[in-house]
Amino acid sequence: MIIANWKCNGSTEMVLSWFEAYNIEFNFENYDFDIFIGLALPSIYLNHFDREDSQFNFAEWGVQDVDHSDGSRTGAISVDMLIDMECDFSIIGHSERRQIFNEDNDLIKEKLKSLNNRIMPVLCIGETKEENDKGITKDILKNQLEIVNGLELDESFTIAYEPVWAIGSGLTPEPKDINEIHKYIKDVVQSNSANNLIPTVLYGGSVTDKNAESFFKEEFVDGALVGGASLDGTTFAKIVNIFNSTKKT
């Protein structure tokens, strides 16, 4: 599974040129059509294009965040609206939402509960540099994962492990360390969810076409959530091609 997170970037012109570049680079011939390729463009562009058109239809479409309720909530987009617009997934709990918009675990849990069994949730978790330096990464992740405790999780439930210090910095943990953390995340969710679900776990944070293979080779890395490198259609297609040839899942 590879997901593009465009964050607050893009324009009509950029979307069109992105797809053109993507479709030139994307290796259609050897593509395993079971691979989930998700695009989380700014949601205002979601219905701006004919998503059934062949230049767009390789992808699953999603959003970067969602609200847990509807009605008098200015600026919000609800899960019902995502279903109405035929969205496939929603990212929740991104560290930028936690830090800039002050979202806490209680709110993120409400979002998870409202998505669960309706739209695929992609829950982001990750430690800061300071927490990493202190050696408390696993404690921090366990705390962020408390929101799954006792929940009957949908089979599609996905986690993106994104160390905050790796996002947009060009720094990444060692692939073997990412692998160990992913195994830990799978174990925690399996032990604490009501249905003992083993989630899909993506890695996110400065993934590029240059380092992607080193992550995808690791056993418990099920894909990537790609920010900066997803803004270029050619680079994102290269990452998908690398995933396709390394994993075939």
Distance between CA atoms of residues 203 and 53, nearest Å: 30
Segment interacting with ligand PGA, rule: CB under 6 A, options 24-32, 79-87, 130-138, 162-170: 162-170
Q: Cα dist. 6→38, 176, 207 in Å? A: 11, 27, 13
CB of 238 to ligand PGA, least distance (A): 14
Closest by CA to 141, choosing from 155, 123, 153, is: 123
Does 205 bind ligand PGA (CB under 6 A)? Our answer is yes
Active site residues: 94, 162
Q: What does R_g of the chain's alpha carbons equal in angstroms?
A: 17
Tell which one of 127, 154, 162, 218 touches ligand PGA (CB under 6 A): 162
Give residues with Cβ within 8 angstroms of 34, minimum separation 6: 249
- Quick check: 126 binds ligand PGA (CB under 6 A)? no
With contacts defined by CB under 6 A, name the span among 73-81, 110-118, 139-147, 160-168 that binds ligand PGA.
Answer: 160-168
Q: How far is the CB of 154 from ligand PGA (least distance, A)?
A: 21
| Tokens describing residue 83 | 């279903």
> Contact 246/32 with Cβ under 8 angstroms?
no
Distance in angstroms (rounded) separating the CA atoms of residues 220 and 210: 20
Rounded to whole angstroms, the Cα distance separating 246 from 32 reads 11
How far apart are CB 74 and ligand PGA at their closest, in Å? 26
Contacts with ligand PGA in 214-243 (CB under 6 A)? 225-229
| Among positions 38, 93, 204, 223, the unique one binding ligand PGA when judged by CB under 6 A | 204
Is the Cα dihedral 98, 174, 238, 157 positive or negative? negative
Contact stretch for ligand PGA (CB under 6 A) within 129-137, 182-190, 193-201, 205-213: 205-213
Q: Per CB under 6 A, does 206 bind ligand PGA? A: yes
Binding site for ligand PGA (CB under 6 A): 5, 162, 167-168, 204-207, 225-229
